[in-house]
Amino acid sequence: MAALRSSHILANYSAPLSKALYARDNSVKTNKSELISEIPKERFRTIDGSKPKIGDIVTLDQGFTFKNGKAGCLVYGVSNKGQFSYEAEVYETELSS
């Protein structure tokens, strides 16, 4: 799913997302962090209508470098039911350490 981390794809992809594609396997241990900054709408895509907000606990996926040279990470918001609710490209500085 590395192609999903591309800003170009996130900004221009309008097809509905398959919830089955984003179903979580709870037997897999994931790394998590807390959002400490607002994420602009250009850098997230909702899966269930949710939007990222400060204080959300997110699942970390893969790291990458933004075009400006700063470190980033693809993250997923997780609903109370344990399902992914959004995906976002965040700067490392937008996550708690």
Query: Which residue would you say has higher pLDDT here, 19 or 91?
Result: 91
> What per-residue confidence (pLDDT) applies to 89?
97
If one counts the domains in the chain, the total is: 1
**Domain range spanning residue 44?**
2-94
Please give the structure tokens belonging to residue 22: 């984003």
Candidates 36, 34, 22; CA nearest to 84 is 22
With a CB cutoff of 8 Å and minimum separation 6, the contacts of 20 are none
pLDDT averaged over every residue in the chain: 81
